[in-house]
Amino acid sequence: VSTDYDTSDVLYFEPITFECVRSVIEREKPDGVIVHFGGQTPLKLAKSLNLIGAHIIGTSAKVIDTAEDREKFAAFVEKHNLLQPKNGIARTKDEAYSIANALGFPVLVRPSYVLGGRAMRIVDSVEELRTYMEEAVKVSEDSPVLIDKFLDSALELDVDCISDGTSVYIGGIMQHIEEAGIHSGDSASCLPPFGLSASMLQNIESTTAQIALNLGVIGLMNVQYAIYKDELYLIEVNPRASRTVPFVSKATGIPLAKVATRVMWQGDLREALAYYDSFDNVDYTGEILKHKTLKSVAIKESIFPFNKLSGADMSLGPEMKSTGEVMGISKNVGVSFAKSQIACKNAIPTKGKVFISLSQRDKQAGCVLAKKLLALGFQLCATGGTHKAFAAEGIESELVLKISEGRPNITDLMTNNDIAMAINTSDMQSHKGDTILIRAQILKDNIPYFTTLSAANMAVLALEAMVDTDINQATALQDFL
């Protein structure tokens, strides 16, 4: 925006605080103010801007407050019979222990009013919760801690939509590749989703439309869901543009930000979509508008700064760590994932030795993954516990020592360029020292890696697809729309 003189007539470089925004409004006297496009920060200014008479176009300050206030939104969820993970709000340490015990472990704990999942943690026991409450947060009446029942191994989804108050356009339904527990900003996502039934997709669309229309959203809205035991759970609703809007816009050919702005100003969703639907991709029939069948599969992958930050832990969790995003697109989900890994400098090798070290919970499913890698022609090496699990299933692998177990160990193999790819899902609690050093060596030697089993399984899917496909062939983005 700052260098594009066709986009903006005036540009202010100011912090997004109420005082600065008010002074700009007083000087410019705008016809309308949009608080949709700056994440949570401008949303928090909506109520104050409303009080000084600023004309907020699109979703009103009252609707934003309902969606952002946890207790008001809980009442909205109950009124409309939506499913949410059981939760509670703790204002003292004793309240936190009581709520967590009532919900049952594991639970997801986080401070209120934070961005990027900062200080958010999945807690498996009272001891872990006590450590969290004493070391990570300061709980009080003004700063309560939010506690949710954690839906272990659930499938997460992101949905971006636009509403004009009477109709809703489902811009995109994105399926997270990593399981629940990974921040949505760090998880790879697939558009359209794969493996979901037609009835579940219909449920997602109708629930999203129900939320947007009953809340009173005018413009963009992002919803995060979890599918747990074949039930659709509502995780979060944001009445604003999400970080996935550019990705969805590129993958579908519909510029969501432009459409939403036109809707906020003119109030007609169908007219706004038709104005920008240059590829004739939208089905305009019914109350719920959506894209016609997509001709491609797009994968959004996150970029991480781990190789720039000495000692950084590259394991993923509820606290966001990524600093950017890339997209891979093709006719096939495996090829799209392979392209996304090339784009984020984590290109999947097609031969060589794969180092595997799995957490206890991943060992059984990891055996299935190992068999697929052997069938693709890779050799395997593994640390003690993983090697033992493989041997029990008749899977051939080379036993390698952890760093604490002597020499030669896994870092020696990495230094000698003997490792083509690393799959390390070891938990930080039981093997913290070894895990940190091994992962540091992976980064130092620029070895392609995966820290979740779900991402490693996608890598195998990509390898299987790459057997018959030249992924280096250049294709214009418009050819996929």
* Residues 442, 355 within the same domain: yes
* Residue that finishes a domain, picked among 149, 174, 192: 149
134-179 confidence digits (pLDDT tens): 876 776 666 788 899 999 889 999 999 999 999 999 999 999 999 8
Residue 362: domain span: 347-466
Domain count, the chain: 3
* Residues 293, 381 within the same domain: no
Q: Is residue 49 part of a domain?
A: no
Q: Please give the pLDDT value at position 279.
A: 87
Alpha-carbon torsion (250, 251, 256, 258), positive or negative: positive
pTM of structure? 0.90
* Residues 145, 242 within the same domain: no
* Residues 211, 272 within the same domain: yes
Q: Is residue 20 part of a domain?
A: no
* Residues 142, 206 within the same domain: no
Backbone angles phi, psi at 362, to 5 degrees: -95, -5
Q: Is residue 289 part of a domain?
A: yes
Q: Is residue 278 part of a domain?
A: yes
Q: Give the CATH number of the domain where residue 128 resides.
A: 3.30.1490.20
Q: Please give the pLDDT value at position 2.
A: 61
* Residues 260, 202 within the same domain: yes
Q: Please give the pLDDT value at position 325.
A: 94
* Residues 250, 188 within the same domain: yes
Q: Please give the pLDDT value at position 403.
A: 83
Q: Please give the pLDDT value at position 140.
A: 64
* Residues 352, 459 within the same domain: yes
Q: How many CB atoms lie within 10 A of CB 348?
A: 20
Q: Give the CATH number of the domain where residue 382 resides.
A: 3.40.50.1380
* Residues 171, 140 within the same domain: no
Q: Is residue 322 part of a domain?
A: no
Q: Give the CATH number of the domain where residue 228 resides.
A: 3.30.470.20
* Residues 462, 436 within the same domain: yes
Q: Please give the pLDDT value at position 347.
A: 95
* Residues 211, 105 within the same domain: no
Q: Is residue 281 part of a domain?
A: yes
* Residue that finishes a domain, picked among 149, 168, 183: 149
Q: Please give the pLDDT value at position 432.
A: 60
Q: Is residue 40 part of a domain?
A: no
**Residue showing tokens 């057997």:** 467
Residue ranges for the chain with pLDDT beneath 50: none
Q: What span, in angstroms and rounded, lies between the C-alpha atoms of 182 and 169?
A: 27
* Residue that finishes a domain, picked among 96, 128, 149: 149
Q: Please give the pLDDT value at position 393.
A: 96
Q: Is residue 444 part of a domain?
A: yes
261-302 confidence digits (pLDDT tens): 999 999 999 999 999 998 899 999 888 999 998 999 999 999
* Residues 448, 414 within the same domain: yes
